[in-house]
Structure 1
């Protein structure tokens, strides 16, 4: 819309957008239940429904239910945009009202169009401060009124633009309600389809998509979001768009779990490991005791609601790392709850001069990656946008507290499982980065994942083993690394007193050699903390990545190629 008036803004109630978002979410759940019911009644019908009429009914109902599910998905995406709009418009409205209030407090009349007039007469104090000159005081009031007009009308214009942008975003979300029942065949590859992608090279996938018109790309995203959002070789803008759909579908999946009958939820509360007699007694108790029954149902729902709340944050816009007053969409390059795969890009590749990929470590989880994403955003902000950073979760990580965590981290299976995926992803990163240098950071257990990937043929310009568990499974010498870039430069950083040092390089250990001691690996100086003390001790394990210290600046210098500021350990 055009610039709103002050009275219009005063009457606005952004809370209504949150209420609308909630209503759309609920409608999506109810509509999905209806779609499931229709689908089950015909597509999965039993009891003798056969013959040509049955076949025709099933063929007809497929596009119908696909369309209904598309509307469900659109409602979820539109609700996310409505919540974003409520936040932005609330802040914009508060800014307009605050400026108008300031003007009125100074005795200035405020016009509905945002024009601020000076008071009818200057105060005695202002005249005194103007050397007793009434004309000088009036001139000062005129200047102040003009400044308030500029600020207030600017705030009104910004709010109007935000309102128009929110409306366009909500409209675009509803545009995703296009059913895509038929598989899409990439242009230029006769006889090939999305189903062939697992057997195609990334270059072939990329080339096939490059030959598609925009309309066909969009249809591909909407009809096959799971494959598009999680396949290396697909352009990243398409992966990001597809993963918004995948996240919406995941929310709908969790809503479906909440909508199941209570008996299904109670069955889930009866542990399958119980003896049959114990399971039967618990089952009877859950049905006989209303409080226990309600508790079991609530626990079942709570897990699903927690996942919904997390997934909604992935659809929400986030503060721009370079401008906290501006919000930007998240750039999620992979989202697959079944595989525990989550990859997110932070920063602007068009502005950045260097790209980094962060592979985190112990206790990283699919639903708890926020801390690692926040680390990436700090690197973007701290480099004033010179760095764009990818947070890489290519599968499950070891987890556990204290001794249990240490024991799980001794298992090399996680590294061996994830390393091939990281190798494949590095090929895609190399393609997207172009001439931009790419640095991989393996932190803690992530160091073992990174080293194992180097063993299998990772492509990187620079590699940093940060407080790393080891140089990789089966890596005992630099000859065991097979990075596809023969000019790769390797660094390591381990602060003194970090307990990780107790497990690095254990003979015949699960994670290979200590990267700090391998020839050709450049040891970075941990330096000093923000407060001036030496970087070291238990907390240094994560602080080197998160505290604006010498170690952190050393990592930034490596990523950006700022050789003058790289500090090597003595």
Structure 2
């Protein structure tokens, strides 16, 4: 690695990387439009252009169109790397400039090789501070110059490393697009290696992948990213890599929506009207009122742009929960917008001594999961990295403001739909976590999802029902739970005054029994807030998971298996 010279660094504009990223995003959208045109042209010619020449033409154009789409993905992924680099390089350059400023304000001379020379003469004030000794003052200046030299050279070295890392990351994104596809033929595999996955066990899928070479696994990720990124049994490193491609494709899909003709956008607005007569009047108005037409088109585009911005955050690096000065890629284990599935791992699984899975509740949304991820990251940080956390959004959750949300949360179908997926995922977690203990946290409606999953055969070491709506659909007695780990230990936590208590365990209720009253379930104390006040009342419903209070530390102690610090109800 060649470190940049100081004069060169002073001319750098890290924000130019952000501008380049925007240009690459635009290029990806335009290139995708051309690829779509090629595909449409070939599809449209199938009925009029036949024979061996037509077949040869379609066979020849196939790899070209596929290459165009790989380049679109590469541009999106490279843009994400460039945005990350803009932040990291900008921060590193600011450190260099700060040392230079300190040196110059002290009257030191700064050379391009990052050596700092002391002033030719010590100031009168320094001589006085040095007891009137000119030699002592000069020695102090020499010492300070040496310190500044070390600091400046260290800052330049860090900047050079950040620059080199960014270059490698961007090169990797583009190299994936230009790499020639490799044949995937693991033992006993069909031409389509993922075709049998829906009917295969997770162990069989894992075994099939284990038989592949590294190049075959890379090809599997590139050719079938949706299946690889969202199938239990696939190694998590592969799922993370595949889901970066899936997120890039989702960004391209939203660009495609923006690029459709205005007439298509106007018809989409009409589709939301209730009656044909209203739709007809709206259609006429849109064509005679330019302002309304423009507003309708802008509203259509706004939704797509909002999703693009959100998906870009999923591709962006985030601060390491344990070392905020270090940035790490996000680890997305499932990304399926159609099913509203988003599963993310926070922390370092190789370093962790325990794993936890958080199942959130009411008003959790696919594109509004930042709070749930932040909750997971706080547990990782609070454990010093001893805990790896997974935020689990396995489908559509009940949503709605105030009373409407409460009414929607009374519907058990969300739990019934998501619980089987959670059961399957728990098998994958057990495989990936190895000997690490795994704890599941079901918060609010998530408690019903978790309890229903236990009824269907979840695999867990510890389970915590946190301010839970219930013990699970159809769960009225501990015998209704069928966790595959017979030694599972169950806990519950409900803060005094949490309105959730009004729906817990009501007769014939949709979410089963009150977990706080189930035999064998250990009740956890909620204790006090940071202010010293009791953790109680409506706000406690969410605060037990987010405020670093007694309740939060109690939950963390359960996750860590720290029996000495687990506080239970007397």
TM-score bracket, shorter-length normalisation: over 0.9
Cα 1:337/1:181, change in 2 over 3 Å: farther
Residue of structure 2 in register with 1:543 after alignment: 543
* TM-fit CA distance, 1:502: 0.6
Structure 1 distance, partners of 2:183, 2:366, is 29
Q: Distance in 1 between matches of 2:276 and 2:327?
A: 54
Contact 2:467 2:500 in 1 (8 A): yes
Does the CA contact (< 8 Å) of 1:188 and 1:211 recur in 2?
no
Conservation of the 8 A alpha-carbon contact between 1:63 and 1:179: no
- Offset of 1:12 from its aligned partner? 0.5
Residue 552 (1) aligns with residue 552 (2): yes
8 Å CA contact 1:182–1:223 kept in 2: the answer is no
CA distance 1:192–1:255, change in 2 (3 Å): closer
The answer to whether the 8 Å contact 1:442/1:465 transfers is yes
Match of 2:21, SS state, is: helix
2:337 maps to: 337
Q: Deviations over 1:198-245 (max 9, x none)?
A: 111100110111111111100000000000000000000000000000
Alignment partner, residue 320 of structure 1? 320
Return 272-281 or 445-454, whichever deviates more. 272-281
**Which residue of the partner structure matches residue 403 of structure 2?**
403
Pick which of 512-521 and 54-63 moved more.
54-63
User: Helix, strand or coil: the match of 2:295?
Assistant: helix
Rounded to whole Å, the distance in 2 between the matches of 1:99 and 1:453 is: 56
Native 8 Å contact 1:320 1:327 kept in 2: yes
Contact 1:74–1:174 (8 Å) recurs in 2: yes
| TM-aligned CA deviation for residue 16 of structure 1 | 1.2
Change (3 A) 1:179 1:506: farther
Conserved in 2, the CA contact under 8 Å of 1:183 and 1:224? no
1:359–1:67 CA distance, 2 compared to 1 (3 A) = same
Residue deviations 1:84-124 (CA, integer Å, cap 9, x gap): 11111111111101110011001111111111112222222
Q: Does 1:264 align with 2:264?
A: yes
Please report how far the alpha carbon of residue 59 of structure 1 lies from its aligned counterpart in structure 2 after TM superposition. Answer: 2.2
1:37 aligned residue? 37
Give the Å deviation of 1:175. Answer: 1.9
The structural deviation recorded for 1:157 is 0.1
The structure-2 alpha-carbon separation of the partners of 1:396 and 1:362, relative to structure 1 and needing over 3 Å to count, comes to same
What TM-score, normalized by structure 2, do the two folds share? 0.98
Deviation at 1:56, TM superposition (A): 2.4
Rounded to whole Å, the distance in 1 between the matches of 2:418 and 2:178 is 35
Unaligned runs of 5+ in 1: none
Alpha-carbon contact 2:181-2:219 (below 8 Å) kept: no
Aligned-pair distance for 1:569?
1.5
Residues 66, 180 of structure 1: 8 Å contact kept: no
Aligned twin of 2:120: 120
Instruction: Name 1:99's counterpart in structure 2.
Output: 99
Q: 1:417 to 1:377 in 2, by over 3 A?
A: same
* Greater Cα offset, 47-56 or 129-138: 47-56
Q: Distance in 2 between matches of 1:328 and 1:550?
A: 30
Give the CA deviation at 1:279: 1.3
Shift of 1:183: 8.4
Tell me the distance in 1 between the aligned counterparts of 2:178 and 2:506.
56
2-structure distance, mates of 1:569, 1:262: 62
CA distance in 1, matches of 2:55, 2:181: 17
What is residue 239 of structure 1 aligned with on the other side?
Answer: 239
> Which residue is 1:70 aligned to?
70
Q: Is the 8 A contact 2:346 2:376 kept in 1?
A: yes
Q: CA deviation at 1:188?
A: 5.0
Q: Give the TM-score, by structure 1 length.
A: 0.98
CA deviation after TM superposition for structure 1 residue 273, in Å: 4.4
Name the structure 2 match of 1:3: 3
| Structure 1 segment 196-207 matched on structure 2, within 5 A | 196-207=196-207
Residue 49 (structure 1) aligned with residue 58 (structure 2)? no
- Deviation of 1:182 after TM superposition, in Å, equals 9.0
State which drifts further: 174-183 or 386-395.
Answer: 174-183
Aligned to 2:152: 152
CA deviations 1:238-266 (Å, max 9, x no partner) are 00000000000000000000000000000
Q: Structure 1 residue 324: deviation in Å?
A: 1.3
* Equivalent-residue separation in structure 2 for 1:542 and 1:516 (angstroms): 17
| TM superposition shift of 1:133 | 2.1
1:288 alignment counterpart:
288
CA distance in 1, matches of 2:219, 2:341: 24
Partner residue, 2:348? 348
SS of the residue 1:408 aligns to = helix
CA displacement, residues 437-483 of structure 1 (integer Å, 9 cap, x when unaligned): 10000000000000000000000000000000000000001000000
Once residues 317 and 408 of structure 2 are traced to their aligned partners in structure 1, the CA distance between those partners, rounded to angstroms, is 35
User: Match of 1:260, SS?
Assistant: coil
Q: For residues 119 and 240 of structure 2, what CA distance do their matches in structure 1 show?
A: 53
More deviation, 413-422/10-19:
10-19
Q: Distance in 2 between matches of 1:35 and 1:189?
A: 31
Distance 1:275 1:7 in 2: 68
CA distance in 2, matches of 1:181, 1:29: 23
- The range that moved more, 42-51 or 13-22, is 42-51
Change (3 A) 1:190 1:281: closer
Judge conservation of contact 2:182–2:216 (CA < 8 Å) in 1: no
Distance in 1 of aligned mates of 2:297 and 2:272: 17
Is the Cα contact below 8 Å between 1:185 and 1:194 reproduced in 2? Answer: no
* CA distance in structure 2 between the aligned counterparts of 1:191 and 1:288, rounded to whole angstroms: 55
Matches within 5 A, 1:119-198: 119-178=119-178, 184-187=184-187, 189=189, 193-198=193-198
Equivalent position of 1:484 in the other structure:
484
Q: Measured at CA, do residues 45 and 190 of structure 1 come closer, stay the same or move farther in structure 2, by a change above 3 Å?
A: closer
Q: CA deviation at 1:52?
A: 2.8
| Count of aligned pairs | 570
SS in 2 for 1:323: coil
Unmatched segments (≥5 aa) in structure 2? none
How large is the RMSD of aligned CA atoms in angstroms? 1.4
Give the Cα–Cα distance (whole angstroms) in 2 for the partners of residues 555 and 119 of structure 1. 58
Q: Could you tell me which residue of structure 1 aligns to residue 306 of structure 2?
A: 306
1:189 CA drift (Å): 4.3
Aligned pairs for 1:72-87 within 5 A? 72-87=72-87
Q: Is the Cα contact below 8 Å between 1:343 and 1:394 reproduced in 2?
A: yes
Superposed CA offset, 1:514-562 (max 9, x none): 0001011000000000111100111101100100100000011000011
**Cα deviation, residue 47, structure 1:** 5.6
Q: Secondary structure at the match of 1:343?
A: strand
Taking the aligned partners of 2:16 and 2:52, their CA distance within structure 1 comes to 50
Inter-partner Cα distance in structure 2 for 1:47 and 1:485: 58
Alignment partner of 1:110 is 2:110: yes
SS of the aligned residue for 2:526 comes to: coil
